[in-house]
Amino acid sequence: MRRRILLVRHCQSRANAEGRIEGRGDSGLSEEGERQAKRVAAFIAAQGLTEVTLIASSQARAIATAGAIGAACGWTHVSDHRIREGELGWMEDLSYTEVGRHMREKQATELDAHLHGGESLETVGERFSEALAEAMAASDGTLVLVSHGYAIQALLRRLAPGAELPRFIGNGDVVELWLEAGALAEPPKHYPLSAPAA
């Protein structure tokens, strides 16, 4: 049976607004993040979904985003720590500018454990995949998972190694997946929050 999965990146956190990278950090939503949460909630509500399981990571920025979605759709959410953001080692709390500088110096095209010393994309993808499999086994309807940029990228790479994936998943963006027998049934669709409504 084909299953629809919506992966939502949390809306702008205070650390995002300040230009700082945040993995295990736990800042809440900024004022802009709260506005974004209302917009992504309206997008999800417009999908007309029924029989939905809404799951948020255990971090404040994802919980607040899921809360806005739940309020707009009449759902309650549960939390699962396995879909939390990856731990980014010594890069935690650095400015995006500093992270970019280090990546250029190392000629790195992606952020991964070899660069920051924290959790690898593979490790994060594995724990996220376990959470997704359990959620799919526990319900028959659509799953809406509110997570984080690095974590969503990790899951996508695990599900579709070598496939063309969104290069950047912004705050409040949605990635739609259709899974069948645990594998992608079609390429992921990326819905950037910043894109004008169709």
Catalytic residues, by residue number, are 10, 85
Contact 59, 26 (CB under 8 A): yes
- CA angle centred on 26, ends 20 and 29, rounded to 5°: 75
For tokens 């500018």, name the residue.
97
How far apart (Å, rounded) are the C-alpha atoms in residues 145 and 128?
10
- Residues pairing with 9 in the sheet: 147
Contact 23, 118 (CB under 8 A): yes
